[in-house]
Structure 1
Amino acid sequence: MNANPTSDPVDDPPLAAQSGHSSSQTPHALQNRIHSTQCEILLERMGESYFETDLSGKLTFFNDYVCQFHGRSPDELRQLDFRALMSGEDARRVRAIFHDVYKSGIPSQRFAYDIIRKDGTLASAEAAVALLHGPAGETVGFSGIARDITEKKKFEKELRQSEEKHRHIIETLEEGYSETDLKGNFTFVNPSACRRLGYSRDELIGVNSRAYSPPETTELSNTVYQEVYRTGLPRRIHGHTMFAKDGSCRISDASVSLIRDESGKPTGFRTLTIDRTQQKETEKALHESKRKHTSILTNMEECYYELDLTGSFTFANAATCKNLGRSHSEVIGMNYRDYMSEKTILKTRQVFNTVFLTGQPTKIFECEIIDKAGRMHIHEMSVSLMRNTASEPIGFFGISRDRTELMQMEMALRDSEESYRTVMDMSPDTITVNRIEDGRYVEVNRAFCDLTGYRSEEVTGRTPTEVNLFVAPTDRKRLEAALRHGVVRGLEMQFRDKSGTVSDNLVSARPIQFKGNPCYLFIVTLITPLKMVQQALAESEESYRTILESAPYAVVITRISDSQFRQVNSAFCRQTGFSRAETIGRTTFDLEKLIDPSDRKRMLEILRRDGQVNGMEVCFKAKDGGLLETLFSAAPIRYKGDDCILSMTVDISARKLAERELDQYRQHLEEMVQSRTAELKAAQQELIKSEKLSVLGQLTATVSHELRNPLGVIRSSNFYLQRHIGDKDDKVPKHFKRIDEQVTLCDAIVSELLEYTRGRNVSLVREDIRPLLKQVIEQLCEDNTIPIGLEQSGDFSAVPHDPEKMRRVFINVIDNAIQAIKAQQRLAKEASRQYDPAISIHAKMQTDHVIIAILDNGVGMNAETLEKAFEPLFTTRARGTGIGLANVKKIVSEHGGEVSLESKLGEGTRMTICLHCT
């Protein structure tokens, strides 16, 4: 390479991208720079290859990383041409890069190339070069930095291969693979997913996956996708359903995982689906196959069995258990030695050993089986070797068939053949055997001779035509035509006997082999007497029909097996409105005739019990919907070969209507009598009550006047004594107070009596009643230690009420509650049990009225006491007047309100007062 800067570098430029070694030949242009200790340290520690070359491409300076990268010593590197270190293509490309740098003076961009190391391995580097100038600014060579990218390229190659492999796997996967964004819109689908749904990739991309799923799958998928998004962990969806383009339903198992970008941010979901549609169908088919297999094994008449290698049952179908006369639980575990004869055991063991050693099924062999009852059965049995999935012998299976009956039948057949002649001769029907070839008689029985008048030897070898048997020539042709179809059954024909007498007959025939020849077996039944009977029967039926049609009542014949109408008369059609065509062949249920379907069941029960039904009342519905009330009678008969019921119905609708009207009139009279009686009783009770109240009022007026004067004197005298007695001990004030309380009590009793018997008119004010209720509660709480709670709900309206009278109501009710609680306290104390007394008052506004409920957990009342609680003068307390609750009801009624009382003995009482706001 020419060092003249005006000329190009040598045709073979230096391998600028190769790592360099430190050189003992340092150019003059670099001496000032590298003599510095700091520069040397920097070059050695920079971690990359640094190199300098002259214009001919010879390395003039390089650090240790160049040697390490090439795997060569500095001397080796200085002696090698760069073309020995890289391929020809790379050498030409690198030369072109150096040439461009030399021409332009502009440092190169990074470029990559491969070199061959000393050990023959291929290494890759990435380098950038620039011109190197001398002290006077002249171009003296090139300098550059190179980085080992061998591992990087290897990784990138592996990554590309991995991605290509990954993409190839995805594209060729049998499973469906798809990617969606966070909204569920498809961003990628593989061919398998497209085939599975029947859509092209272009049709799916951008469409939301929920568009192809039913609502239940969409809801499940949303839950799973949210869980995957929240946790970042993959989840599975079993039974994921999607609709294909053709409308079919595809079922799959899906695995959902999160897709993240380079920063780890979730960008979507990837879903791998395994199509289970075919599997589900296969499982269904397998289940059905197993069901059929089980059904076949269960219902097959042959015995199917499975034995272990010792010969003990591990499975037996129902026929096997039946043949052994044992239950399934008894059979399982039984060894073949337990149910076979001694002779059979030895033979069976030899068969099992042969099958085990050869693996080949055995031919059918006979064995003797003994059932639980000790009976001997002859079985045909097959044995095959049963193997597991590893083809290891695990037992035997086979089929056995009970030949006992068959052998008995064969023996019976032999006996039958021996008695064939006896049967032929004893048969009442004519039996003949004729050759198919020419129709000649081969054998005839005695009945034939009796019917025709011919002896056996007279007809044997002759044809029916030759003995002039057929009356009409067409009968012979009809018989020949019927025989061409193989079997003749019940062909009616007339025959002529030897004397010329004509008889009616039924001919049956079929081909048989008789003594080695194809023949016809003819059986002829004489029906002349039957025809005569049929004629008589037809005449009888005509008479019966005339009687049936003339009957004034509905007569019906129904078949017992299916309840179908077999015959109805004209009276039935007139009565119900149904024609014969609409009725015959149908049932009462088809016509919806029965009003009460249970009537049929009741009729059949009576018929089974008594043999007939007489006068049973049954309601039917006519065609126009009208009600028919009838008297129903029935008896069993045989009609045209079927068990039937002959029934007759008499329409009693008019009579029943008259009976109902009469019953209604009678019932109305009874109700009127009861009503008048109740009114009289109520009036009598009211009169008695009025008389009692009148007497009580007169007595109260007199007593109250006579009592209040002495009470006033006692009260004033008590007051005087309290003021003037000076020397008092502790008991004197107590007795003064007791006198005052008792006088007040007596005065209150008198007031209660006067209020109930006479009272005064209510003086109504319209205001909120709650303040009055609170005052009463506070007043009573001062005199008692029993807690009284008040609960209020709703916006209260003003209530028209007499404050003084309502005060008396509240005091009476709450005082009764206090007395009940005190009585309960005494009982609890005597029984030494815990008791927490409580009175609660609930006031609430409800529409246009106020409801006040007063509850206590006192002694409560029994039913008898509760019924009499509001009666005047009724009391259960020793010192009660029996006027309190009577006054409560009276005052509340004066206010236009209602009062109710609920109580349970030992649990407490609830008094509810309802006052109207209008």
Structure 2
Amino acid sequence: MSLLMKTKSRNTDTRVSGRSRGTEIIALSKPVGTDAQPASSAADAPVTRGGTERKNIKSGRDRHQIFLDNIQDACVEINPNGKCTFCNEAAHQMLGYSREEYMNLRHRQRYATKTEADKVLNIFKEVYHTGVPAKLFESDVRRKDGSVITMEMMISPILTGRKGIAGFRGVGRDITARKETQDILRQSEAHYRSLFEHTKAIMFLIDPDTGRFVDVNLTACSYYGYSKKEFLQKKITDINTLNEDDVRQKMLMAKSEQRSHFYFTHRLACGALRPVEVFTSPVEIGGRKLLYSIIHDITERREAEEALRHSEEKYRTIIENMQDAYFECDLSGTFIFANKAASDTMGYTPDELLKLDYRAFTRPATSKKVKEVFQHTFETGIPCTLFDYEIVLRDKTTRIHQLNVGLMRDTDGHPVGFRVVSRDVTERKRAEEELRASEEKYRSILENMTEGYFESGIRGRITFANDAACAMMGYTREQLLNIHYRQFTTPETRKRITEAYRQVYQTGLASKLGDYEIIRGDGSIRTHQLSIGLMKDAAGGKTGFRAVARDITESKQAEEALRHSEERIRVLFNNIPVPTVVWKGYKNNLILMEYNDAALQYTGGKILEAVGKTVEECYPNAPHIAADMHQCFSLQTHIEKSFWFRDGHADEKKYVTIKYAFAPPDNVIMHVNDMTAQKKAEENLKHISIHDALTGLYNRFYSDAEISRIKSSRLRPVSFIVMDLNNLKVVNDEDGHAAGDLCIKNTANLLKQAFRPEDMIARIGGDEFIIMLPLVDEETCAQALTRLKNNVAQFNLNAARPISLAAGFSTARAGDDIEALIAKADRRMYQEKARMKAVAGNEKHIP
């Protein structure tokens, strides 16, 4: 079948045949119709000329043959019937055919598809009819092995001087690799365009010469409130609050790479102003030098910095106003800061103190102890306390202090000095000595007290009575223990006592019964006063009553005149909502004489046992209370102290503020305010500051501090696991943030189960965790990770929303860079995440 249409007009032949041979692209060395001679030789070479001319023509053909066989482009000749009459060495190497095989192929067989063959055929027809070489075009060509390559081709006619077009010359070049590179480049451009458009960071491209926006991403449009079209009509000066000259200067600095980091205030579309942090650098795109900028809103950071300044000011105020002496000193022990209390205590001005060290206030033996405390704190990093050391003040007097020492570090975690809190415990020590000296004496007084003390069962039968009680009642102890209180009371008194005991039993509150008559064993009648309290066992069950009886027969008449006044004062005293106790000075001792209902309720009735006892006997485990009370009594002043206190064998400690007030002529009134709830709230606030609110794990603040501490310690080996919760965004998007929070909390619980109590587990980001395992090597760390994975797998068996974790770990030994190893663990985690994504992607294609 002929390649071209055979109906060609004479006029066309004439026009083409007259065309200059200069339009030929490549001169081929073989004819269109044969394999032996050049296409132009039959028409152009005179057959009658001599041997010299024939020799020159042959030499020219040989040169052309050598040239064509040594070029890299494929060269072929095609006759008007579509048959290949010549192909060079590059063509048969490129297509995998021998010359004979390729020259015998039909037109359709040379191309990858029928469509491609038809396209090229139409180009041949166009060249044939116009005589004009075809422009460069691309076509998919099939090689002998069946593979397809893309070639860039050019077709030109073979012109003759007499007969017009004798065939076609084609030149082709394999551009398959170039096309693949172009495809990869297009995909890469699309990828980076997608990253630019869809990243959560605000990004700009700005022309530094005009200040106009060249491109912005979707996040920028959302943040500033402009559409992309509106943005591209604006300049950077439309959103930056600086004047145009300042903005232009900043852009020139960024363009010349003098500076890449800036802080500005930007204006949103709504008019609101936002502080922003800008990172910018020059980039060249399409021959234009632009500024590529990333913008971060730092509103929350600024608010946090402001809150930090307020916090620092608050704690500075606390230090300046605290009663204890507070010092800071360098590693040599020289003071670099002292609060007002320190200056007042030592008797030096602040400037004078900063020229001294701790040795100026201590004798040699004490200096040695202080140095040992500093040395221990420096070596271990653990705060240390020195009890009861002697200091010498400026006026040469001595005081007893308690020293608390902590280590100061710089931002890199290196020790730079010490913080010291020194408390004056002189009075407490003196009170302790007095307590020990007088304990036996007060015990004897208690055993020989004149008041009668009774204990009785729930039904009123006496179970215990002291010697004074027996003497008051006129019975022996054996007789008292075998009778009921009804047997020594008058009918009127019996009713009052019964009601008092019933009220104490029902309310649990202590009660007093005054001026009741009793019948002694000898039949005489006496007037007594009675204080009743409820006795309970360890479980809180009611077991009986305690009663203190006082014979007031002789003093009744004298007291009658004061009764109304006392009653009024007593009502006021008992209705004070603050637990209040009255201590009376007696022979250098302070004796508990009275208490109000709030005190009785606060002590659970135990104060009944303390009536008549000295302060040292009442508080044997808190000698500072006695010291403070004696100080108040001796100086006739007011004192206020706050401290943690455990009452006897109580399970729970209480934080109390006690106010001591001297009451003439010889009393000290003690008001006890229970501040436990407030103190616990403060401690809870401290707990919250280092723990993650959602999971209860440590937060980033604490983990950074612990890592800094480990870096400066000798604790090795120590392993680090960096972990990321996969697909949290998908959970939040599909099921809501409550489901995402549940995934985070479930992950935290699995981490707590998998690791030891001494391991630090911290949530350092939305879905990021870090675990620090002290004294754990690589093998043990890998076992811990395996245990965690098993726990996660077991959890996922019944979980509505399975959990997927990616983790990486590393182990630090002596001399290793902690930060580098944590970064290594982070890289391993991302490698694991990528592997998991790849596996997940493959599984989706499994039928």
TM-score (norm 1): 0.39
Structure having the higher Rg = 1
TM-score (norm 2): 0.41
